[in-house]
Amino acid sequence: MTDSPKPTADHADTASTEAKSDSKVETRTVTADEADMRLDRWFKRHFPDVNHSYLQKLLRTGQVRIDGKRAETSSRLAAGQGVRIPPLAAWAAPVKGPSQGAGKPKGMSDKQIAELQALVLYRDADVIAINKPAGLAVQGGTGTSKHLDAMLDALRFDGKERPKLVHRLDKDTSGVLLLARTTFAASKLTELFRGSAVRKIYWAVTVGVPTPYQGKIDLALAKEGGPHGERVAENKEEGKRAVTVYSVQENVGKQAAFVAMWPLTGRTHQLRVHMAAVGTPILGDGKYAGQGAFLAGAEVAKKLHLHARRLILPHPRGGKTIDVTAPLPDHMQATWKYFGFSPNLRDDPFEDFE
């Protein structure tokens, strides 16, 4: 009896106990708009079901290669290179092109897909803007099973690529959220959000009235752990600089105010921590103000009253400006009506800010 030959690196995957698809070894060419992309991100784009550990296994055993050479998850790709794809596990289906049909996103009914698509405020060949509902997380995390990132195929429409996140909103914050429809747009938009070319205007109701009526809060913030999830706190020594410009639009005596805010930096929970720090927390923000975030006797929802009202930025391909406004969510509309605030204020309160 002779010994069975040991599987080589190129054939190790066939020895796996995982059921394989009917596909054969193929080579995919890196396109111009995928240049400088990390290999793991490229794989996520082409094979969204392939997780990090599975990809590492394929790379470690030499089954995935770039131009015939071994690679790592962090390897950067160049246009024209060939990526070797071995037969994958049956569950790791590739993304289908528009001519094949993108298919229905996993775990979503036709009704849920229609509801998500109804949130679209603006769409062109490169960009989609939606009105994110309060309560919907943008990305997954511990204890978060439902999130927008898992639903993005429902917003693909006729696009060749799956939409990509380029910024985020807190789970309990509603309003304008921008998505990139192409790798090119994702790269450009990411640069814009890192710079100062994007104007993000938020609307909020505060408990109490900030003084002065127009001002700037410059307070360094740092993340810290805690029993109730991620928190952010003032930290002058180790924190990152965070700057918020605000303007009181209307107020009800000293009880509450309708405040417009423009975060000049984009720190986690920045607006919430800044308003709490000056003694006028955002209505419903028990995380940062406890009971001080609620108005006793007021017939208003106890949800967070923070809304990404308007987003203004250059188009990623230049030549025009994207200017998108999102209507208030139901609970904030009810609060606006209760206090008699104007729901149609469109003028930019920070037009003259320098």
Buried/exposed code over 101-130 (b: 16+ C-beta within 10 A; e: otherwise)? ebeebeebeeeebeebeebebbbeebbbbb
In this prediction, residues 71-85 reach a mean pLDDT of 88
The predicted structure's pLDDT at residue 326: 96
The predicted structure's pLDDT at residue 104: 63
**pLDDT, the chain, mean:** 86
More confident position, 226 or 353 = 353
pTM to 2 decimals? 0.73
**pLDDT of 350 over the 80 cut:** yes
Distance of alpha carbon 251 from alpha carbon 58, whole angstroms: 60
More confident position, 354 or 108 = 108
In this prediction, residues 137-158 reach a mean pLDDT of 84
**pLDDT of 4 over the 70 cut:** no
Distance of alpha carbon 130 from alpha carbon 140, whole angstroms: 18
The predicted structure's pLDDT at residue 147: 87
What torsion do the CA atoms of 117, 49, 52, 147 make, to the nearest 10 degrees? 30
So where are the chain's domains?
26-85, 110-194, 199-353
| CATH fold group of domain 199-353 | Pseudouridine synthase (3.30.2350)
In this prediction, residues 15-27 reach a mean pLDDT of 57
Q: Label residue 32 by pLDDT band (50, 70, 90).
A: low
Domain made up of 110-194: CATH architecture: 2-Layer Sandwich (3.30)
* Annotated catalytic residue 170: yes
In this prediction, residues 68-77 reach a mean pLDDT of 92
E-state strands within 55-166: 65-66, 69-70, 82-85, 120-123, 127-132, 164-165
Superfamily of structural domain 26-85: RNA-binding S4 domain (3.10.290.10)
The predicted structure's pLDDT at residue 99: 35
Q: Which of 13, 126, 153, 170 is catalytic?
A: 170
Q: Label residue 354 by pLDDT band (50, 70, 90).
A: low
Least confident of 24-33, 114-123, 160-169, 243-252: 24-33
Provide the residue type at 89 as one letter: A
The predicted structure's pLDDT at residue 78: 85
Distance of alpha carbon 63 from alpha carbon 176, whole angstroms: 42
Q: Note whether 110-194 and 199-353 share their fold.
A: yes
Query: ∠ CA(80), CA(75), CA(67), 5° rounding?
Result: 40
Asked whether the beta carbons of 245 and 261 are under 8 A apart, the reply is yes
Residue 320 gets which letter from DSSP?
S
